[in-house]
């Protein structure tokens, strides 16, 4: 379980695709806090660190994961949001994020709004039916509040800290 509060940004160092899915190697300073087999959220997707090597971890993603998350579009050098799992006694500063992603949206607009940015995301109907105004949503693993919504999209507001 995660909180949607990003703890670090990693860089995709390798992607090996096969018929079964993909094996991804991600470079990050968070590797010092991981052991083989540990869970880690990568852009909000719960993956297992299969192995650790030279400042990076390797994780496997099956085809189902690649097809219903943004991980299928990752290429070499891509930056990803990373979060270690919540531990008993940790503060829950964002919202409960399980790491089971429901779909991929498309950014429709980004509007500067004072010190914030309002981002409108079009999402599939099977995702939109669960989105509620003022509710929590994770976008690429970041815990956000839904500021507005219509039948096919939602809007979130990013402050500089986010």
Q: CA 146 to CA 156: how far, in whole Å?
A: 5
Parts of the chain with a pLDDT under 70: 162
**Residue 100's pLDDT is what?**
85
Residue 128 neighbours by CB under 8 Å, 6+ apart: 149, 151, 152, 153, 154
Which class is 106-158 in CATH?
Answer: mainly beta
**Residue 30's pLDDT is what?**
97
User: Which residues face 123 on adjacent strands?
Assistant: none
Helix (H) or strand (E) holding 118: strand 116-122
**Residue 91's pLDDT is what?**
84
- pLDDT per residue as tens digits for the range 6-48: 999 999 999 999 999 999 999 999 999 999 999 999 999 999 9
Structural contact between residues 142 and 136, judged by C-beta atoms closer than 8 angstroms: no
**Residue 162's pLDDT is what?**
64
Other CB atoms within 10 Å distance of the CB of residue 20 = 10
**Residue 87's pLDDT is what?**
87
Q: Where are the domains of the chain?
A: 8-83, 106-158
Q: CA 162 to CA 158: how far, in whole Å?
A: 6
Provide the 8-state DSSP code for 100: -
Domains 8-83 and 106-158 share a fold: yes
* Token pair belonging to 9: 């940004």
Architecture of domain 8-83: Beta Barrel (2.40)
Residue 10 neighbours by CB under 8 Å, 6+ apart: 26, 27, 28, 30, 42, 79, 80, 82
């Amino acid at each position: 379980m995660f909180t949607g509060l990003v703890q670090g940004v990693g860089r995709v160092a390798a992607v090996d695709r096969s018929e079964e899915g993909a094996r991804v190697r991600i470079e990050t300073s968070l590797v010092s806090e991981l052991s083989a087999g540990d869970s880690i959220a990568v852009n909000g997707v719960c993956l297992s660190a299969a192995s650790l090597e030279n400042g990076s971890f390797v994780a496997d993603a099956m085809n189902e994961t690649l097809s219903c998350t943004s991980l299928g579009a990752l290429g070499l050098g891509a930056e990803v949001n990373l979060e270690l799992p919540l531990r008993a006694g940790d503060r829950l500063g964002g919202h409960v994020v399980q790491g089971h992603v429901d779909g991929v949206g498309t950014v429709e607009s980004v509007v500067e709004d004072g010190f914030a940015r309002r981002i409108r995301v079009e999402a599939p109907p099977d995702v939109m039916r669960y989105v509620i105004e003022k509710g929590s949503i994770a976008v690429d693993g970041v815990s956000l509040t839904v500021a507005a919504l219509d039948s096919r999209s939602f809007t979130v507001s990013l402050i500089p800290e986010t």
